[in-house]
Amino acid sequence: MNRRNASILVIDDDTDILTAVKLLLKPEVKEVVTEKNPENLLSHLNRHSFDLILLDMNFNSSINTGNEGFYWLKRIKSSACGADVIMITAYGDIDLAVRSLKEGAADFIVKPWHNEKLLESVFETLKARGKGSVASPVQQTPVIGSELLGESESMKDIFSKIQKIAPTDANILILGENGTGKDLIAKAIHQNSFRSTKPFIKVDVGALSESLFESELFGHKKGSFTGSTEDRVGRFESANGGTLFLDEIGNINLQQQSKLLTVLQNRQITKIGSNVPVDIDIRLICATNLPITDLANESKFRKDLIYRINTVEIMVPPLRKRGDDVIHLARYFVNIYAEKYRKPDLEIDDKALEKLKHYPFPGNVRELQYTIERAVIMSEGKSLMPSDLIFSPIETATSDMQGEENLNLDSVQKNTILLVIEKHHGNITRAAKELGLTRAALYRRLGKYGI
């Protein structure tokens, strides 16, 4: 490939090294991004497409085995990013060099290097990329995007399914609780499909009234009903050639289901006020928070419609069942909001991460995102501490009230404290005053209830 169009990511814990490499490469390539912390590697790959990654092999000065580098090399090669990797180490061990090449590295550089040698390695690697076969649209676009990042087995299974089904026109049904990222999965399928340059149209069909359902989806002609002062193009027609995403499909009534089924069977829509059918070419993706067993109830949902929309089913797990994914997501959101609110050096403390791991997140990824954003806004130090993480009283109260065993004094006190802290936007002094407590007494209760 033409090196002038190349994007390169450099990962090394030595700031001087990062500065030197950036100054060396910047005049030669399109873009150079540097990163000190390898933990942020996946976040970079999710947000950006890189052609080449320069990766240090040791991020702990007292350990020089290269194992950290091999670990991150494996993570890069197992991802969908498609970037080549050049390994960097200060120790000229021929065994490490051979092993890194066997495990997928394109080349190996020893520190300190001659600039000419580094440039030669970079240019040759980029040149070799240009001799490969042209990537398909699925290969060119990373499957994982933003909040969809995850390392749990359940999420890896979802990413694998996306890669397999995206190039097809199969209808997809996405199931999962609210806030799990069903809409992000729908977008990822579209972006990795051969329809990616065509429209992606989302409709929350569960929020459409019966009177608006047909007009919104199929369109209408001017004068077809009171208030229709002009022709309207429906969402099906707007999505022609691309993808139509019908969210909350489980909430539409049987009459609406019948009309939708007719359109999907005939691949034609007829606008209100017209007798002329219009051919449509769409890829259909649907989503609902209802279990498939609830849908498969003829009194609520037509089975023939389920079969029509459910060629392939994707079940999205709740965040509480995704293990350490909550840690990866938390760090990702901290980086996003620290940059947005101009707190670039902000990090999250390990104890705060532990607090996140032990919270069930009834609101899933969406709740985590809002929790982190609120914490970043209210933070005053360089690290987010456990006390900065105030969980949503709406979600917490709902979760706590689901069983009679939680209807006790501790639950009532915990929910009251959460509500008052939320009311005062995390200001402990004001919250303590309203609760009739000293700051010290309130902090003791925060510790007691794990808030």
Of residues 128 and 182, more confidence is placed in 182
Q: What is the C-alpha separation between 69 and 55, in angstroms, rounded? A: 7
Enumerate the H helices of 310-349 as residue ranges. 325-340
Lowest mean pLDDT across 193-202, 230-239, 404-413? 404-413
pLDDT in the model for residue 4: 81
Structural domain range at position 215: 146-315
Taking the C-alpha atoms of residue 372 and residue 336, their distance in angstroms, rounded to an integer, is 10
Residue 56 to residue 105: CA distance in whole angstroms: 12
Tell me the DSSP string of 391-427.
--HHHHHHHHTTSGGG-SHHHHHHHHHHHHHHHTTT-
The pair of three-digit structure tokens given for residue 313, joined into one six-digit string: 């089913």
pLDDT value at 146 more than 60: no
Could you say which of 132, 161, 185 is where a domain stops?
132
Residue 440 has pLDDT above 80, yes or no: no
Give domain status of residue 382, yes or no: yes
**Residue 72 belongs to a domain with what CATH number?**
3.40.50.2300
Query: Rounded to two decimals, what is the model's pTM?
Result: 0.58
- Whether 188 and 296 share a structural domain: yes
- Which CATH number belongs to the domain containing residue 306 in this structure? 3.40.50.300
Instruction: Spell out a b/e string for 347-360, using b for 16 or more CB atoms within 10 Å of the CB, else e.
Output: bbbeebbebbeebe
User: Which residue among 282, 315, 348 closes a domain?
Assistant: 315
DSSP of 110-143:
ESS--HHHHHHHHHHHHHHHHTSPPPPHHHHS-S
Query: What's the total number of domains in the chain?
Result: 3
> How many residues are given for the chain?
451
Residue 16 included in any domain: yes
Write out pLDDT tens, residues 168-177.
999 999 999 9
Q: Which residue blocks in 203-349 are alpha helix, DSSP H? A: 210-218, 235-238, 254-266, 292-295, 303-309, 325-340
139 lies in some domain? no
Interior angle at CA 5, CA 335 and CA 123, nearest 5: 100
Q: For 336-365, how does the pLDDT look when each residue is reduced to its tens digit (9 = 90+)?
A: 899 889 898 899 999 999 999 999 999 899
Model pLDDT, residue 262: 94
